[in-house]
Structures are given as structure tokens and as C-alpha cells.
Homo-oligomer: A and B are copies of this chain.
Amino acid sequence: MNEKFKPVDASVVPRFADIATFMRTKRHDISDEIDIALVGVPFDLGVNFRSGARHGPAQVREMSRLIRQVHQTTGLRPYDICNVADIGDTPVNPVDAVASIAMIEEFFHTIHGAGAIPIAVGGDHTVPLPIFRAIAKGAPVGVVQFDAHADTLDELCGTKVNHATTFRRGVEEGLVDPKRTVQIGLRGSRFGDGDYQWGLDQGMRCITIDEYEDLGRAEVIREIDRVTGDGPVYISFDIDGLDPAFAIGTGVPEPGGLSVRDCQVIIRSLRGKHLVGADICEVAPPLDPSGHTAISAANLMWEMLCVIADSIDRRRGA
């Protein structure tokens, strides 16, 4: 393990001690030494109901104190195989959504340019769009999207870029390959017929919670594998994909959702994929002072970190 990128050791510094960073990794500015960049995106001007996700990075950092360094099931040790750092938060403008989106994109360009794979903590679910713009230009990614909502509307309140249109924009801009994209956990009363339809029309694989239950988790995992194939894959996790029992601290909770357990297992199943980035969005701390939602997020981020580290490691050998 590169000493410079060694996370805080809980046997030396208790988990309640010292400044909170993602997973207790070291805080470094982005550089080409970094393999995986953990980054906050404190942006929530893209929501049309309850905001608060701007504070998501802070609470996920705090709650990720819980995470240790060896994976429970696979034994993966991400810090032994990759240089991982908390590179801070992207710049944002707190009162200007359009400017913020540009600033976020710019920051991810820098990450991408440095050769690092980003794992982003939002912020609302607008966040993946500027990430796609930075990392997928000319190389559209397949997406594994955990979400209660398809986020493929054409517009919301007259704007084209917000947390309900992200994946439509991504496809339209040639950044997301709909045919290698799968949405998992869709549910919740709908605005109209179009909520999922556009994605279906583009060839996305939309797995509602009903279908999820019918297929069973193992079959869904096979389906994800089939759809995403060998190309570059991006993981996007809207925390409202989880049932509110695991994530009440989010803007638009929808009962009847996925369990953390299911999502842990599904993310683990992505081992072997060519993973190029990930995000976890819509953790809104003011709506869950207990931190439960952020604990769920931190644990899912850990799963992402392990499979991404492994992906990097494998491709090195290749």
C-alpha cells in the first residue's frame, strides 16, 4: 500500500476521531497518482420537491467513518491495489444551477484527464449528467441505475437539465448507451404514461420493482450482466432506489423499494465489468438526522469502491 494513500487506521485513530473524509482516505488534490477519486458534489438545485442533498457529501463523509478496509465477502483490499483519495468537493455556485453544472463538468474533466476513476457523492440526481459529459464523450457508457424514478423526462418546469431528465439528456448527447443501460427499482405513482416510456423506446432495460420481484435478484443480476456486456459501465445510485426503511433522508421517498442487502449483492456482481465511474445521489441529511440514510450510502459506496478497484487492477494486468 502506497503510504501516501493509506487511509486512517482505526486501530490507531479511533473511528470517532479526526476530520471526516470519505472512507477515512487521505485528502489530496487530484493528480495522476490517484486511481480512484472520491469526490463530493454538493449540488441540489435540480430538484422539484425537497432539497437538502447539498449536504450529502458532508454526512456521507461523517458516516463513512464506519467503513473498514477489507471487503466482507470477497476479501478485496482496495487500498492495496489502488491509490484512493478524497479529493474534496467540486466547485458549485449555490444560487446558479446552470453555472454549477458547468463547474461540475469542468472538475470531472480534470479528474478524467488525470486518469482517475471518479466515485461521486451528490448532490441531487442531476449530478451524473456533467460527469457523463466529462468522461463519456465519444465513448458512451452503459449505466446500471438504481432508482425509484426513470429520470428520463424531457423537461421539468421548463428546464432541460434537472434531476428528472438526466438519463434522457445523457442518451441524447451520445454519452449514455441506452441499449447497455438497465434501470432497477422503478416504482412510485407516476406523473403520466411517459415516465418510463422514453427509456423503453430507446432500448433501455427498465426493471420495475414488480418485475424485480417476479424475476428474483439472481435473474436480475444475470439480466444486468447481459445488458451491460463488455463495454464501459457506469453505476448511478439514486438513494431513493432503496426502500424508505433504509433511506428516509431523501427528497422523494417511494415505499416498496430495494433493500440495502439486495443492492450490495448486485453491486458485487459487477465485479469483472469494465467500470468507469459511479455516483450515489440524493442523500438529504436534514431529512434524516439519525444518519441512517448516509450509513446506507457509505456502505454502497464501499461496494462500488471494491469492484472499481478490482476492475482497475484487472485491466492493468490485461
Residues of A that sit less than 8 Å from B by CB: 10-21, 27, 40, 42, 44-52, 54-55, 57-58, 61-62, 65-73, 75, 86, 88-89, 91-97, 99, 156-159, 162, 186-193, 195, 208-210, 213, 243-246, 248, 252-257, 259-261, 264, 284, 286-292, 295-296, 299, 302
Known: A16-B58, A17-B92, A48-B14. A99 touches B158 (CB 8 A): yes
A60 to B261 Cα, complex, angstroms: 27
Besides A45-B95, A72-B188, A246-B255, 4 new A-B residue pairs in contact (Cβ under 8 A), listed by A number: A16-B42, A70-B189, A245-B292, A256-B260
Residues of B within 8 A of A213 (CB): 261
Q: Is the CB of A292 within 8 A of B244?
A: yes
A191 to B42 Cα, complex, angstroms: 22
A86 to B12 Cα, complex, angstroms: 20
Q: Is the CB of B19 within 8 A of A27?
A: yes
Known: A70-B189, A244-B246, A244-B292. A159 touches B96 (CB 8 A): yes
Known: A20-B58, A50-B286, A286-B287. A157 touches B68 (CB 8 A): no
A250 to B20 Cα, complex, angstroms: 20
- Min distance, Cβ A66 to any Cβ of chain B, angstroms: 7
Q: How many copies does the complex hold?
A: 6
Known: A58-B16, A256-B261, A295-B253. A47 touches B290 (CB 8 A): no
Residues of B within 8 A of A10 (CB): 48, 191
Residues of B within 8 A of A188 (CB): 68, 72
Residues of B within 8 A of A68 (CB): 188-191
A249 to B257 Cα, complex, angstroms: 20
Q: Is the CB of A75 within 8 A of B193?
A: yes
Q: Is the CB of A16 within 8 A of B96?
A: no
The chain B residue sitting closest to A288, CB to CB, is: B290
A227 to B72 Cα, complex, angstroms: 24
Residues of B within 8 A of A49 (CB): 14-16, 65-66, 94
